[in-house]
Chains A and B, each alone.
Chain A
Amino acid sequence: MADLRSTLAGIRSPNPFWLASAPPTDKLTNVVRAFKAGWGGVVWKTLGEDPPVVNVSSRYGAHLDNERRLIGLNNIELISDRPLEVNLQEIVQVKRDWPDRALVVSLMARIEEEAWAGLIRKVEATGADGIELNLGCPHGMCERGMGSATGQVPELVEQVTRWAKAATRMPVIVKLTPNITNILWSAEAAKRGGADAVSLINTVNSIVAVDLDAMAPTPVVDGKGSHGGYCGPAVKPIALNMVAEIARNPETRGLPISGIGGVTTWRDAAEFLALGATNVQVCTAAMTFGFKIVEDMIDGLSNWMDEKGYEGLDQLSGRAVRNVVNWNDLNMNFSTKAVIDPALCIDCGRCHIVCEDTSHQAIRIDPGAGREGHRLFTVIDAECVGCNLCSHVCPVPDCITMRPEENGLPYVTWPEDARNPLRASPSPVPAAAE
């Protein structure tokens, strides 16, 4: 059995699955239910100074696919709208009752040192394991100069991190907003400020849908809507990239990362870990299915790690980072071709039409030549550029596979490639590549 115990910036948890700071971690009732279900830790929903904020009615908008599966969720909810003292008392109790689980408290305050320090001291008194600085909310709070309004300015990220570090001995996790041009600027700022870890991504600024009857963005609040924070499976690719950028950046390499963004299955979690995350935080999946989903996350990750021979998370974390490179470091001589297995083909023709209409006209049809008189689809190798599109649209797993060609050519990057008119220095090019 793989060891799933995880330690992020000194904060231990029995497994790497935490609930992110969000509605599911708003109060004791929910958090206790989560721990009973098996979650390894929670980041308590963001606390601010009293008086608590007031939320509006109607808070979530959804991006559903055709089958009403939720692939993205956005929200316009603010930070905790309960009195600070109530939250703190509950945190004390939960930590006392669940000492083996990670309990981190998310915080947000005005850009004043005393505002942050005051909150942090109160949290430290609860026995919580650490704090997470919410520098990312892209709705509501940013209009008050907090949330993403802080996180979008690297100097402020550094400053707030520094104040937090000065105020406590607890580990400080800085939660980063993806609503920036370059995630490295804020990640580096957090590191300069002394962050023990970063967590990312916070929600993506969004209008998730338009109610075409009300002619207003959803969620609709009395005929009007606002931009909100987008999360869920649809944002995972954005999050993976940002995590990888931080993991492979020399300035931030080694900075512990808590991966957030659309984690729905153990496989998603494994991907975040492979790209350098130490653990993951989950929100939308829990808000879609309830807390029970953590069972398969734990079980699936453990089984997969056993299969692959990973004994602990340390062996897995960052495993794919060295293979994340710039485009300019890719091998220009690599070539792969699609191969269609006629025995698995169900004759839908989608590979053909997408290639024909939108790509390279590289899939030929022979009517009646396939299995049981069906059409036979064959890749024309000379036209196929190995783009993968056909394999992605094929409804049958493994029917279309990509087969690398053995061309015997060396690894040549674009800067070295003879076809590059801006090639810096000539390098030997084998005749076959000409």
Chain B
Amino acid sequence: MTLTADTPPTADRPASPYADLTPPLTAVQALAEANRCLFCYDAACVRACPTGIDIPAFIRSIATGNLKGAARTILSENIMGGTCGRVCPTETLCEQACVRNTAEERPVAIGRLQRHATDRLLATAAAHPFARADSTGKRVAVVGAGPAGLSCAHRLAMMGHAVTVFEAKPKAGGLNEYGLAPYKMADDFAQREVAFILGIGGITVEHGRRLGADLSLEELCAGHDAVFLGVGLGGNNRLNIPGEERAGVEDATAFIERVRQATPEAPPAVGRRVVVIGGGNTAVDAAIQAKRLGAEEVTLAYRRGRAQMGATAWEQELAQTNGVTLRTFAAPVAIGDEGVTFERTRLEEGRLVGTGETLTIAADQVLKAVGQMLARKSLAGLEIAGGKIAVDAEYRTALAGVFAGGDCVATGEDLTVQSVQDGKLAALAIHRHLSA
């Protein structure tokens, strides 16, 4: 069943815009779903998971009632298994590879099962499930307490290193805390997950420390045996059209951050007619969340077609079933009193061309979601390639002893799960570097 914002509220699932859009599985649902797993050999889902979680093994543990073991299997490869179970585009990763698709066109709900197992562990575990190795005496600086930084810090701490995480914002978690719509990351899960990760010990987080402000790479290198940069993509692309500076026009990431940081009792006001410009997951997050916050009409406008959208087909459908209108082949040209004016476009041999025809969509709030970019200012001395920090196969940057991972490097898609994998692999690389 696809649950939508219009699904009647129940005692367990109030109609709050801050509630889960996809609720957790009940124990009965989880058992039924776990039993659909065929326990494949060298399973396709594992190969499709950027973090390589042994999916058949953890699902079998759920089926046998060994939830603790299931969670440990997940977390041993992906310490943010809880967030990934909620936000991974499983429809293009593990669940796309599930062999149940072939026969039944319905994969095992791997993401929801992963959440089932990890939620239980986080809610009940008396102690952190992983122990630290003996202290190595080495000190590592991690810049950015997002998925890459925390994943790296956790793995380094596990291997006995002392880690200091420097984070500009008042809370750790990165996009998990500030950048994902609450319908995916309901309640305080991001912070509970951070607390869980830090529970391994050996990790200190210093908030309000920003690279380029009160922190420099030179200082970090001087004071630590290695440095990991998990700084993400701090800047937003601009539309560069007239009216972009008007009141009511905002980056979608900033909007989501405001929504996330407000309390459910006092959510931010949204426009009556909201236009979201962009075709990626951030655009879908913002559009659905605006609708859930009470916007009457929400239009997601994208300059190319649905096949070219960054958001998966599943997310596009989710937007539609939640009352968002998708408007494709519309490139924004101006924002004015009437709303957003678009030029109709078409693809000619893969190239986007304007038709000269325009349309205007009325809007009192405009959210821009046309991609993010690396904030380069503070990264002097590093090699940048294709808008990302260049790293080699060992996650080494051009600066000796400085490693990088997550959205700020180009290892894969800009997904939480890829960042967690980067952080984990970079930690292993740093460990090799420090042990050499």
Contacts and interface: CB of A to CB of B under 8 A. Distances in A.
A169 interface: no
Contact of A350 (B32, B40, B64, B102): B40
Given A66-B63, A66-B64, A67-B31, A352 B103 contact: no
Interface in B33-73: 34-35, 38-44, 63-64
Interface string B92-125: 0000000110110000000000000000000000
A395 B40 CA distance: 10
Contacts of B100: 346
Contacts of B31: 66-68
Contacts of A68: 31
Contacts of A346: 99-100, 102-103
Nearest to B28: A68
B40 A349 contact: yes
Contacts of B43: 348-349
Nearest to B99: A346
B42 A349 contact: yes
Contact of B103 (A67, A350, A374, A395): A395
A324 interface: no
A324 to B, nearest CB: 34
Interface string B124-156: 000000000000000000000000000000000
A180 interface: no
Given A66-B63, A67-B35, A353 B102 contact: no
Contacts of A349: 40-43
Contacts of A329: none
Q: Which of B31, B34, B99 has the most CB of A within 10 A?
A: B99
A366 to B, nearest CB: 13
Contacts of A374: 44
B47 to A, nearest CB: 10
A353 B40 CA distance: 9
A66 B35 CA distance: 7
B344 to A, nearest CB: 36
A350 B40 CA distance: 6
Contact of A396 (B44, B64, B103): B103
A383 interface: no
Q: Which of B34, B41, B44 has the most CB of A within 10 A?
A: B41
A299 interface: no
Interface in A53-93: 66-68
Nearest to B104: A346
A296 interface: no
B41 A353 contact: yes
A350 B35 contact: no
Contacts of A66: 31, 34-35, 63-64
Interface of A is mostly: loop
Interface string A347-359: 1111011000000
A395 B63 CA distance: 17
Contacts of A347: 40, 44, 99, 102
A229 B335 CA distance: 79
A349 B102 CA distance: 14
Interface residues of A, number: 13
A67 B40 CA distance: 18
B63 A348 contact: no
A395 B102 contact: no
A66 B28 CA distance: 12
Nearest to A372: B102
Interface in B332-389: none
A92 B99 CA distance: 59
Interface in A337-389: 346-350, 352-353, 374
Contacts of B34: 66
A378 to B, nearest CB: 15
B103 to A, nearest CB: 5
Contacts of A352: 41
A242 to B, nearest CB: 32
A6 to B, nearest CB: 38
A396 B104 CA distance: 11
A395 B99 CA distance: 10
Contacts of B39: 350
Contacts of B44: 347, 374
Contact of A348 (B32, B41, B64): B41
B35 A348 contact: no
A348 B42 CA distance: 8
Given A346-B103, A347-B44, A349-B43, A395 B35 contact: no
Contacts of B99: 346-348
A375 B38 CA distance: 16
Contacts of A353: 41
A279 B255 CA distance: 73
A68 B99 CA distance: 24
A233 B275 CA distance: 60
A403 B40 CA distance: 25
Contacts of B32: 67
A350 B38 contact: yes
A271 B304 CA distance: 62
Nearest to B56: A348
A395 B41 CA distance: 13
A80 B63 CA distance: 39
Contacts of A348: 38, 40-41, 43, 99
Nearest to B39: A350
A62 to B, nearest CB: 15
A347 B42 CA distance: 10
Nearest to A397: B103
B223 to A, nearest CB: 48
A352 B43 CA distance: 12
Contacts of A396: 103
Nearest to A344: B103
Nearest to A365: B42
B108 to A, nearest CB: 12
Nearest to A345: B102
Given A66-B63, A346-B99, A349-B42, 13 more contacts: A66-B31, A66-B35, A67-B32, A68-B31, A346-B102, A346-B103, A348-B38, A348-B43, A349-B40, A349-B43, A350-B39, A374-B44, A395-B103
Interface of B: 31-32, 34-35, 38-44, 63-64, 99-100, 102-103
9 closest cross-chain pairs (CB), A and B: A349-B41, A353-B41, A346-B102, A348-B40, A346-B99, A67-B35, A348-B38, A348-B99, A66-B63
12 contacts: A66-B35, A66-B64, A67-B31, A346-B100, A347-B44, A347-B102, A348-B38, A348-B99, A349-B40, A350-B40, A353-B41, A374-B44
